[in-house]
Amino acid sequence: MIGRFILATILIGIISGFLITIYELLIIFTTYFFFQGDPYKTIATLPIWYIYLLPTVAIFLVNYIVSKDANIREYALNEIADSIAQNKMILKVKTLFLKIIASVLSLSTGFMAGTEGPSAGIGAMIAYHIHKLFKLPNMLIKMIISVGASSAIAAIFVSPLTGIAFAVEHIAYQFLKQYIGYLILASVIAFAISINFLEPIYFQHSVGRSLNKSFLLVNLIFIPYITIFVYIYLFLKKRVLHFIDLEIFKNASKYRNYIFALIGGSTVGTILLIEPHAAFSGKDVVTYLINDNRHIPLALIFTVLFLRIIGTTISIYSNAVGGLFLPIMSIGAIVGYSFGEILSTYHIISEPFYFAAIGASVFMGVIMKLPLTALVLSLETTFDYNVVIATGIGIVIVQYISSLNFNINRRNVTKADKV
């Protein structure tokens, strides 16, 4: 049985590595096709009506696809595993195909959604079918799904440790001692495949194990600053849009998805016209902010920040198929970068790209309720103790302060809140 499980794990890693690579490259190809080249360069040359029509038509198609199979929007891996184990859910190959199509349509037309949610779902579906193929015991379904999810996350982030930490924090913690080897095996294999085709997020300014003690005091000041923006994001998503969804549209619930699709399409179209960098998944924004040492005007930074917060929350309510990992990281990176720029205006020694790296991890860790994943991601991305220490302290304190006024539920983080 152990031999079959090892073979199944290797197969999951190989298939996940290739399929996730194809998924990411398909998003890039489709984006360039829709925008007739690099969208950051071509949007200004395209007709305004086309910029509005493209995301609007795409999100209506996505909502139509989701209406045919509700599992396309499901990313709560723990609940998926429980439902499968109880014979309440079957993950079909058709669902996998439709999930990829819906996600590609969402991400390639400018919606602020990430690739990790669909990737984890793809990995889970691959693992589910491998589980059936090898006729493994039903009691291992949660474990095999965590193996699939971790390998997919490792592939999409080109980061094996992040994939392992993600799976551990989601559904594999009770299996850690007994099955960690299988998580590592699948994640490393998928990573080894994807790194040949995809680019990881990495931090060019790392000083490694050197610790700059002068950063400690400034980092403590950064905690209330980033907390303010966590509150703004949560207030918008959980209070404003939640109120609009349940109160203003309560008499039009039958048309709810169409209304929010129209709002989502017009919002994304407007954001694309104002500032293209505020749209899409946010990976390019994160990479740029944590590695560029040129100063960016504060007006531009706050414009992009405001648009990304609005766009990300609207994308969720519009049923865009994608995760929040990268969009939330991008918001955190912008918040951190703005903090560094503000310090620079007062001639306080700081490096905006350091705070961008810290902000990206802290914001994601708090909103997604994945502190371990965020800490591991900061370590594997930067290999810089100054970033890792600040991230660890920041996540714990900001998460505690946020919990005083908001109930952050990881199960519903990629969904419009329900009563």
151 plus 26 within the same structural domain: yes
Residue 28 included in any domain: yes
Residue 205 included in any domain: no
Please write the tens of the pLDDT for every residue from 186-230. Answer: 989 998 999 999 988 888 888 777 777 777 788 889 999 999 999
**End-of-domain residue from the set 166, 194, 222:** 194
Residue 204 included in any domain: no
169 plus 235 within the same structural domain: no
Number of folded domains in the chain?
A: 2
260 plus 126 within the same structural domain: no
Domain of 45 in residue numbering reads as 2-194
| For residues 15-38, average pLDDT | 95
> 240, 77, 289: which is closest to 170 by C-alpha?
77
Residue type (1 letter), 397: I
Contacts by residues 227-233 (CB-CB < 8 Å, ≥ 24 positions apart): 227/398, 227/401, 227/402, 229/305, 229/309, 229/331, 229/335, 229/363, 230/363, 230/366, 230/367, 230/398, 230/402, 231/402, 231/405, 231/406, 232/309, 233/309, 233/312, 233/313, 233/331, 233/367
Quote the pLDDT of residue 19.
Answer: 93
Whether residue 363 is predicted with pLDDT greater than 90 in this model: the reply is yes
Please write the tens of the pLDDT for every residue from 228-254. Answer: 999 988 888 776 666 666 655 666 667
pTM for this structure? 0.86
| For residues 310-315, average pLDDT | 86
**What band does 141 get if pLDDT is binned at 50, 70 and 90?**
confident
Distances (CA, A) of 246 to 252, 317, 419: 10, 12, 8
> 291, 294, 118: which is closest to 201 by C-alpha?
291
Distances (CA, A) of 204 to 56, 269, 315, 378: 38, 33, 31, 13
Residue 417 included in any domain: no
Quote the pLDDT of residue 37.
Answer: 95
Q: What CATH number did the domain enclosing 21 receive?
A: 1.10.3080.10
222 plus 371 within the same structural domain: yes
